[in-house]
Amino acid sequence: MDDQPRLMHSHTGVGMAGHPGLSQHMQEGTGGTDGDGRKQDIGDILQQIMTITDQSLDEAQARKHALNCHRMKPALFNVLCEIKEKTVLSIRGAQEEEPPDAQLMRLDNMLLAEGVSGPEKGGGSAAAAAAAAASGGAGADNSAEHSDYRAKLSQIRQIYHTELEKYEQACNEFTTHVMNLLREQSRTRPISPKEIERMVSIIHRKFSSIQMQLKQSTCEAVMILRSRFLDARRKRRNFNKQATEILNEYFYSHLSNPYPSEEAKEELAKKCAITVSQVHHRTVPPTCRKVSNWFGNKRIRYKKNIGKFQEEANMYAARTAVNAANASSHGSQANSPSTPNSAGSAGSFNMSNSGDLFMNVQSLNGDSYQGAQVGANVQSQVDTLRHVISQTGGYSDGLTANQMYSPQGINANGGWQDAPTPSSVTSPTEGPGSVHSDTSN
């Protein structure tokens, strides 16, 4: 601590002991051109420097005072000012711009998103809070699964904050120290406040680069932790039976347009009590994303091999048919999640058997001002009915039955089309994929 003042005094002392006002000469011209007198001086100076640590603080203060009261001091100061004025300009050209630094911003964003640098402890980070909320809602398995992760994350957070604080403190300490030093020195040599400012900013820059390293390594640690504990792909859990049934029910009852709307997805997620896990795309509610994933997979896989899903389709079709019948007999039809837009593009169906039914649906959809909800439900029932019809029309070996089954519905539609259509009209016998199933319910 007290090294600095003493050092400073020694410096000024040296200046006085040498040639006042000619310090430049002294530094550069010590080559011995001037003889022994100067050498003698240098020897003295070195001696002073060597013994400087032995001097007491009081002595140093006394020297300082003496210096400040020296009669030549103002003159010396002026000379220094002049010299500086001439030389400082060249230094002034240094660049001052401070770019926002994309790298740092990225790190900050990630740390914030990860809950490391966000809201301080005392309730946990955002991620932890989210996980806790999710586990409270649905799965107890969730909290158990994440507890380890959360513990490690909070550990990282703590280390991060500790280090950050340490750096900050060190930075402040060092800054004040330097500022004091410069201010003190400014009594004996010209130092403008601007220069002090500049020095401070340099110091801050240095320290912030250290901070950036800290942030970077923290980010790395979080990433590793994440990949170890939270990568949903790694820790994939199958949905439980009930959830799958609900999703399948919806899928097969909207087979002509199995694209649930945002609300429908939310409702499905709620009904399925799908557990929320950490998800990469934060823009969309994670539960909905899971539902979307499910539908995406289901659509593609169904389309790829319709035959394989025949049985399943029949089962759910029959079930929803029963449900629909019950519901309509009771007069309430808010049974399944509603899809306001599900009936929108079903018009291109070319069902030979139930064409009239379809026309009804279409007209109902087209002109009624409140038709959205009703139309959706009717559409859903139509989907179901098609299955049932195809099933129950089995008086002739299911030949016609298979024809009117869902692949056509897929084919005729804009986005939900161009399926392989194993059982399309081309083959009078059974389709390539053994489409026929023996379930006669």
Contacts with DNA by CB under 7 A: the residue count is: 33
Cα–Cα distance list, 301 to 201, 268, 294, 310 (Å): 60, 20, 10, 12
C-beta closer to DNA: residue 150 or 265:
265
The CA distance from 170 to 157, in Å, is: 20
The nearest distance, CB 261 to DNA, in angstroms, is 8
The CA angle 297-300-305, to the nearest 5 degrees, is 120
The nearest distance, CB 303 to DNA, in angstroms, is 5
Interface pick for DNA out of 23, 154, 244, 411 (rule CB under 7 A): 244
The nearest distance, CB 300 to DNA, in angstroms, is 5
Mask 198-217, x = binds DNA (CB under 7 A)? --------------------
Binding segment toward DNA, per CB under 7 A, in 155-163, 196-204, 227-235, 329-337: 227-235
Binding segment toward DNA, per CB under 7 A, in 29-37, 52-60, 285-293, 331-339: 285-293
Write down how long the chain is: 441
The string of DSSP codes covering 385-402 is HHHHHHHHTGGGTTHHHH
CB 274 within 8 A of CB 290: yes
The string of DSSP codes covering 235-291 is T--PPPHHHHHHHHHHHHHTTTS----HHHHHHHHHHHTPPP---S-TTS-HHHHHH
The nearest distance, CB 228 to DNA, in angstroms, is 10
Q: Which of residues 290-329 bind DNA (CB under 7 A)?
A: 290, 292-297, 299-301, 303, 308
C-beta closer to DNA: residue 85 or 148:
148
C-beta closer to DNA: residue 275 or 336:
275
C-beta closer to DNA: residue 160 or 295:
295
144 binds DNA per the rule CB under 7 A: no
C-beta closer to DNA: residue 183 or 301:
301
172 binds DNA per the rule CB under 7 A: no
C-beta closer to DNA: residue 194 or 282:
282
241 binds DNA per the rule CB under 7 A: no
Place of tokens 């809602």: 137
The CA distance from 115 to 123, in Å, is: 12
239 binds DNA per the rule CB under 7 A: yes
CB 314 within 8 A of CB 439: yes
262 binds DNA per the rule CB under 7 A: yes
Structure token pair of residue 156: 């990282």
236 binds DNA per the rule CB under 7 A: yes
CB 383 within 8 A of CB 253: yes
The CA distance from 27 to 88, in Å, is: 18
Binding site for DNA (CB under 7 A): 231-239, 244, 259, 262, 277, 279-280, 283-284, 289-290, 292-297, 299-301, 303, 308, 415-416, 418
